[in-house]
Amino acid sequence: MSQPALPTRPVGRSSLRVSVLGLGCATLGGSRFPVSPQVAAGAIHQAWNDGVRYVDTAPFYGYGAAERRVGDALRAMPRGDWVLSTKVGRLLVPCANPPAGAGGTPRPMPFDAVYDYSYDGVMRSFEASLQRLGLDRIDMLFVHDIGAYVHGAAHAGHMQALERGGYRALDSLRSGGAVRAIGLGVFETAVCLEAMQWGHWDAFLLAGGYTLLGQEPLMDLLPACETQGVSLIVGSPLNSGILAGGGLWNYKAPPPPVAARAEGIRDVCAAFGVPVVAAALQFVLAHPAVAAVLPGPRSAQEQADNLRALHHPIPPGLWAALRDRHLLHPQAPVPQGPVVSTDSIERTMHEVQS
């Protein structure tokens, strides 16, 4: 039996509203871990049944596979009932013998990706995504992986291409109604702050940047977002799994201080009988600038686990204990009650039925 749609929050000053729990589809593309089309479809359908009405994907996820899987799974759902974001900044080109991914995982699709932040590159990426998705519209476009974190010394050139060309394409698509919101999908706060100096954005999808493990954006990006009316969407809330006991931190081995901090957070959660996933998802949603959190489940079971984590009760003492151990920034907002309360679910169900 399907759950009622989850509560929604606005995306910046746009007309969009997204469910507080979204579905991140990076893993469902099958390039980081082997994920079959059937398993991916099961996770997407489980998310729909759980009331998730916001789905994020990208051409880079599975080199086209994630977009195809998302479109195939959701095409029959009432299009006005859900929000889709995808990304620009990479174009997929045919590749006869694509290299294997991390851990030797075969590439799901015979393509390679080349960076292109120009006007034509953004327009071509947008049109190609519509074809792969099999949909007539995309709600929100993020510029994927711009920034020094990914590009190093080449960042300045890519940023110039975006400012002088790609942004004009995004703004044209938005003003013409082809998309309803635009933003960046990145790992770092610095590039968001840089882009805010010359562009008008609706949202930033920040992966692993504002989480239970680290809250540096409280000092700069989040206040700027509140001032300019830009929403933050939190991706990778478990920092690639380290908070849940995995071995990676933001897709790489963690330095010892980060590993120790993650272990301390897990210890506090265990002492209060709270799953770390529950604390991680609910914590980020306490900030008023955050519109949604985007975990990336690998299966229907992991998606169902994420929904349970969103509902899990968390005693206020847990947040106090994290602060006492200097594991939580003193200025970080924390939940004052259930993020998704019984009242909000009953209200949402009434809205769906009326």
Question: Is the dihedral angle over the CA atoms 120, 122, 123, 128 positive or is it negative?
Answer: positive
Residue that the structure tokens 């010892």 belong to: 256
Q: Which of 40, 141, 129, 144 is nearest to 92 (CA)?
A: 129
DSSP string, 7-34: PEEE-TTSS-EEESB-EE-TGGGSSSS-
Q: Which of 228, 134, 216, 123 is nearest to 178 (CA)?
A: 123
* Residue 230 to residues 97, 203, 205, 209, Cα–Cα distance (Å): 41, 5, 11, 16
Residue 204 near residue 230 (C-beta atoms within 8 A): yes
Quick count: other Cβ atoms within 10 Å of Cβ 156? 10
Q: Following CA atoms 322, 327, 333, 335 in sequence, which dihedral angle do they give, to the nearest 10 degrees? A: -40
Say whether 145 is catalytic: no
Catalytic position from the list 50, 56, 139, 145: 56
DSSP string, 156-190: HHHHHHIIIIIHHHHHHHHHTTS-SEEEEEES-HH
Q: How far apart are the first and last CA of the chain?
A: 19
Residues forming a β-bridge with 85? 56, 140
Query: What backbone torsions phi and psi does residue 73 show, to the nearest 5 degrees?
Result: -75, -30
Say whether 112 is catalytic: no
CA distance 87 to 142: 5
CA distance 140 to 247: 32
Task: Provide Rg for the chain, Cα atoms.
Answer: 19
Q: Which two tokens stand for residue 161?
A: 């291409």
Say whether 251 is catalytic: no
Catalytic position from the list 50, 54, 61, 63: 61
Catalytic position from the list 50, 54, 63, 87: 87
3-state secondary structure of 251: coil
The residues annotated as belonging to the active site are 56, 61, 87
